[in-house]
Structure 1
Amino acid sequence: MELLVNDYRFTMYNVFYKRILVIWITVAFCLLLGLLFSGLTGLVLFGVGIAWLVVNASVIFFSIWIKYKLSRNLERCMANVNKQLLRHKIIVALDDRGKISCHKVTLCFIYMDAGPCIAHLQGSIEHQEREANGWEQRMDISATDIVIQGSRTTRLSRKQDRCEQVFTRYLQRWGKDFLRRRLDWTFDDAGGNTSDPRHIQTAFCPCQYIEELLANKSPKTDIRDCCPWWSRLSTRLGLD
């Protein structure tokens, strides 16, 4: 718990995730009322109204992007915590259950043996690496080797630790969906999760969730690309 509460990413999520959009909507509404009662008329009022719409839309999109970054940073924070708890067969996930209020954050502890999931995930990743290019870029972790320089150069491979990193990296996302019962098996084939239990009898287990997530995730594009969207489209169409 000390590792979690002392992490700035956890604090930033608690403070800003639900509040940032609410704060801006309140400010934008107050600005709109100020414009309506400012006494402006004609083209001046029309121009100021258009400017308000543009600024409002821009800040809303910016707030959504900030919420996305806060959520991803929280996942990395929870990965560090879960890495310490896996040895005790415990998984912790954070679920924001506030509706009107913005401070109902709940820590949920799930008893689960992660060993079978990690072992299955390791075999799946090794198979996908042989079959598909760019698979390593989708995992969103550092998988490079550690090189120790000295009288003899030593290279320590991180491959044996990589699957655990992948498992913990997406564990918060799985836990949130699991707690909200989005991963439960259903009998409806259309739009539901058809029953295919692996390590959890009632829902998607983490390794199934991560496999599907990585399979549908696009590889990271080169930061030197002037238009990443066009690069992804060209790759998909076979024009690269």
Structure 2
Amino acid sequence: MEPHGGVPQTRFSEASGTAAQIAVSAHEEKITNGTNAPVDPHATRGARVERESFRNGRIICAVYPENTTMAWIVPARYNPYSMPKSLADDRLSISAEDYVTAMEMITNDFRFRCYCMFYSRLMALWISLSILVLILVLLGQPNGGLGVLIFALIWMLILLLGIICILITRKHMLIGLRHCVQSANKLLIKSDMLAGVEDRGQLSCHKIVVIFMYIRSAECLPDIERLIRQQNATAQPRAIEMSAAEVKDLALRLVLKYSQNYVKETSKKRLLFPTRPLEGVSEFSPKHCATSYCLCQYVEKRHFKRSPREWYERIF
């Protein structure tokens, strides 16, 4: 393949057996230092060296779009075949094929594309259009009158209804994005990795980044299974009977369900434990992550200890 962005890249070819190479795009966030090295696409857990030096819950890298021009108009374009060099560390068990598959599952999904293009823009576009129409009507009728007043009142009502519809649409976009990332994390969690999507821009769709986090989910799953059993035992009007396999499957589904929000909030440093009295007191103490909530604590807070939602929270 021709060099892209000044960095040589090689696509996978199952027929020819060509291995992918590590390539750093112009927008890749350099979290760790290292040099480009070829990746063995058939790498396994047994092939990596001791990984205990990796801190649990660490953000390994953030993958930015490759195109840089006309960020407000042109959709973001990602290259799943350009694997960040930080993911080629021998202490990580993620293979090149798993990375490519996960990136394709996320970036080629229409729910991800809709989120990139419309989530941050719908509200701004609708309000701008509404104000523009109102101004044009007022300028077209300089003498005003009862008709203009009635139109302005009706248009303000339409503006309010449009805002409500956009809020509902944005919520469903987030749900769709969560399901999209959840499908990719079902593959990545086997390699002690989780992916998440974070919007680091305002109206630019070229600031939507795909984050990769190192997390040993095997440490959190037993605690989530324990919480499920406790919830089933205290269920009303009677206890819920579940087999061990059903409990394990439900625990995994809860981890995948909350993985997108967990990775995003960890990246934004919203889950850090307080280090000073002014920062307040946390309801949890460090468990599987030294400085922030671990995955099981996040699931416990968002799922098992979540307070009942108001009617408007269910809609918006």
TM-score bracket for the superposition, by shorter chain length: 0.7 to 0.9
Out of 103, 112, 116, the residue aligned to residue 14 of structure 1 is 116
Would the alpha carbon gap of residues 95 and 59 (structure 1) be closer, same or farther in structure 2, given more than 3 Å must change? same
**CA–CA distance in structure 2, aligned partners of residues 72 and 188 of structure 1:** 36
Residues in 2 aligned to 1:195 and 1:131: alpha-carbon distance in whole angstroms: 22
CA spacing shift, 1:133–1:71, aligned 2, 3 Å: farther
Shift of 1:217: 4.9
Match of 1:236 in 2: none
Supply the distance in 2 between the matched residues of 1:195 and 1:75 (Cα, whole angstroms).
25
Superposed counterparts of 1:35-46, under 5 Å: 35-39=137-141, 41-46=144-149
| Equivalent residue, structure 1, for 2:135 | 33
Distance 1:69-1:205 versus aligned 2 partners, 3 A rule = same
Q: List alignment gaps of at least 5 residues for structure 1.
A: 135-143, 146-156, 220-227, 233-240
Deviations, residues 150-194 of structure 1 (Å, cap 9, x unaligned):
xxxxxxx64431111110101101111111111111134776635
- Of Structure 1 and Structure 2, which has the larger fraction of its residues in helix? 1
Query: 1:18/1:100 Cα in 2 relative to 1: closer, same or farther (>3 Å)?
Result: closer
The question of 1:198 aligning with 2:280 is answered no
Normalised TM-score (structure 1): 0.76
Separation in 2, partners of 1:191, 1:61: 35
The reply on whether 1:2 has 2:104 as its aligned counterpart is yes
Seen in structure 2, the aligned counterparts of structure 1 residues 19 and 100 have a Cα distance that, compared at 3 Å, is closer
AA of the residue aligned to 1:130: A
Letter in 2 for 1:55: I
- Which TM-score applies when normalising by structure 2? 0.59
**How far is the alpha carbon of 1:80 from its aligned partner?**
0.9
Structure 2 partner of 1:180: 268
Q: CA–CA distance in 2 between the matches of 1:123 and 1:6?
A: 36
Contact 2:284–2:297 (Cα < 8 Å) also in 1: no
Q: Secondary structure of the equivalent of 2:198?
A: strand
Structure-1 separation of matches of 2:306 and 2:284: 20
Cα 1:191–1:58 change in 2 (3 A) is: farther
Partner of residue 255, structure 2 = 167
- Deviation, 1:130, is 1.2
Q: In 2, Cα distance between the equivalents of 1:131 and 1:216? A: 16
Choose 14-23 or 99-108, whichever is displaced more: 99-108
- SS for the counterpart of 1:103 is helix
Q: Is contact 1:19-1:102 (8 Å) kept?
A: no
1:119 match? 222
Aligned residue number for residue 208 of structure 1: 297
- CA apart distance, 1:102: 3.6
Runs (4+) of structure 1 exceeding 4 A deviation are: 189-192
The answer on whether the counterparts of 2:229 and 2:247 sit within 8 Å (CA) in structure 1 is no
**Counterpart in 2 of 1:235?**
none
Shift of 1:30: 1.1
Count of aligned pairs between the two proteins: 203
- RMSD across aligned C-alpha pairs, in angstroms? 2.6
CA distance in 1: counterparts of 2:222 and 2:152, whole angstroms: 58
Deviation at 1:99, TM superposition (A): 2.2
| Runs of 5+ unmatched residues, structure 2 | 1-102
2:179 to 76, 84, 92: 76
Distance 1:213 1:185, change over 3 A: same
**Bigger mean CA offset, 125-134 vs 89-98:** 125-134
